[in-house]
Amino acid sequence: MWNTNVLVLNQNYEPLSVCSVRRALVLIFRGKAHPVEVGEGMVRAVSRAFPVPSVVRLERYIHSPRRRVVLSKRNILRRDNHECQYCGSRDKKMTLDHVVPRKLGGPESWENLVCACVTCNAKKGDLRPEQAGLALRRQPKRPNNVSFIRNFIGISDHRWKPYLFVD
């Protein structure tokens, strides 16, 4: 139960992040947040039992710039669903590939890094995909915070859906 994820909303109900049950309870007990949705189970103390929160809302609005998802190998693999962006295979060992090679001035960015199997990465080498006879299955792009929580961390609780999907 302590490893369960809790969705943290800003005061205006905008999704900010995901935290642990322990962290959510600390926010609630300190008066910095209150539960919006209650999950399953109880946390028991000596004299009281507290429901496990599923979604908490901060009491004060946090003025933070749009949170950007950190560029890392792990997050690139999550974004691309551990699928080679050239051949579509999923069962091989995956690496990162620069669409425009660093040798040709390709940046370290969400728009230039893709998940690739070792075979396709070796075939492409220091060439552009079209020069190596490869084509991208989809154009890489930077995920936003809400779509990253929704699509890559996953919706671990059905109570999160109203806050992560904008109709």
Report the CATH number that the domain containing residue 105 is assigned in CATH: 1.10.30.50
Same domain, 58 and 100: no
**pLDDT value at 40 more than 90:** no
| The overall pTM is greater than 0.75 | no
Alpha-carbon distance 152 to 143, whole Å? 10
How many structural domains are present in the chain? 2
Same domain, 77 and 118: yes
Phi, psi of 132 (to 5 degrees): -90, 0
Q: Which domain range does residue 106 map to? A: 73-124
For 106-139, b where at least 16 C-beta lie within 10 A, e where not — what string?
beeebeebbbbbeebbebbeeeebeeeebeeeee
Same domain, 58 and 25: yes
Residues 47-101: tens digit of each pLDDT: 999 999 999 999 999 886 666 778 899 889 988 989 999 999 997 899 999 999 9
93: its two tokens: 């060992």
66: its two tokens: 């749009």
Same domain, 9 and 60: yes
pLDDT band, very low/low/confident/very high, at 112 (cuts 50, 70, 90): very high
